[in-house]
Amino acid sequence: MAQVEENYTEVSTFIIVGFPGLQLEYFHMVAWFLFILYVTIVMGNLVLVVMFALEHSLQKPMYIIMVSFTTVALPKLIARYWWNDASIGFYTCHFQRHMIHYFGSLNSLIMLTMSVDRYLAVSFPLRYPMLMTAPTMTILTVFSWLVAHIFPGVTSINFIQISFCGSNQIIQAFCDTLSLAALACGEKSYLSMASYATAMFILLVPLIFVISSYFCIIISVFHMTSGQGRRKTLSTCATQGCIISIYYIPRFFVYSVPHIPNMKMTPDSQIATTFFYSFFPPLINPFVYCLRTKEIKAILSRWKLQILF
């Protein structure tokens, strides 16, 4: 560690604490749980990637699934509980923080794209194939991947200009903006408010469009003459709406609690909530968005027959 001021020591490494209330005897059990969770998420989404590569008919907006920040966050946390390896380098932590918020922003934009796709499919079924073409989807995808870097990049520039001193313990499962801001030297209120405003913008702006699109979908559904089509559309939208709610509501609560008077969350409950909205959606995405669909069920049945015969 390098000296910054007389009473401060600059932080050169950070310690990922994880769940502060977890007893040592449960570390290996938690490590196994996290490892199984990680393998399940990766394998489930890897099957989808293979299907997308082999079946060009699946290249549609409703089938685009992003594996959020699982690979960025979980391996280090598994090492923390498996081998008690809690240290993470200064710049590695900043890189992890950037990528975690990048994937969070990307997920928000992808959900926005999916809601727009559903709106166009339901409200303009005849024009949908012309509106959502492969080039259009490519443009939306590239746009999402690029724009998602903007706000994490701005925050990264701000963090480069500040110093970290005193405690180097991150009371979280990974490096994120809130945890690092709490370790910054000097006045933290401006950095905390700036981070909160950025997070709310990334969350609320897409959410407004998502809610508006689903409101229009509901209006269109009630104008449908086919009862079967109405039920199918509501079922698809309700499933996507549940995933969107899981993503937005707990995240909004975690970010807002520090700024609400007389409301607090314990570190363990905050980390547990973060775990829920971070890893539950990518865990169930293959089942919710793909295995429910007729096209993928038909492809899996065809592959099964080819293997048997």
Amino acid at 63: Y
Q: What pLDDT is stored for residue 6 in this prediction? A: 46
pLDDT at 5: 46
What domains appear along the chain, each with residue ranges and CATH number?
A: 14-300 (1.20.1070.10)
Q: What is the pLDDT of residue 238?
A: 73
CB 108 within 8 A of CB 203: yes
Query: What pLDDT, on the 0 to 100 scale, is given for residue 32?
Result: 94
Nearest-5° Cα angle at 255, 276 to 167: 95
Q: How close are the terminal C-alpha atoms of the chain, in Å?
A: 65
Q: What pTM, to 2 d.p., does this model score? A: 0.80
In which residue ranges of the chain is pLDDT below 70? 1-10, 52-69, 187-188, 224-229, 232-233, 235-236, 288-300, 303-309
Q: Give the model's pLDDT for residue 62.
A: 41
Distance CA 110, CA 117 (A): 10
Q: pLDDT for 172-206, tens place per residue?
A: 888 888 888 888 887 667 777 777 788 888 888 88
Within 10 angstroms of residue 181's Cβ, the number of other Cβ atoms is: 23
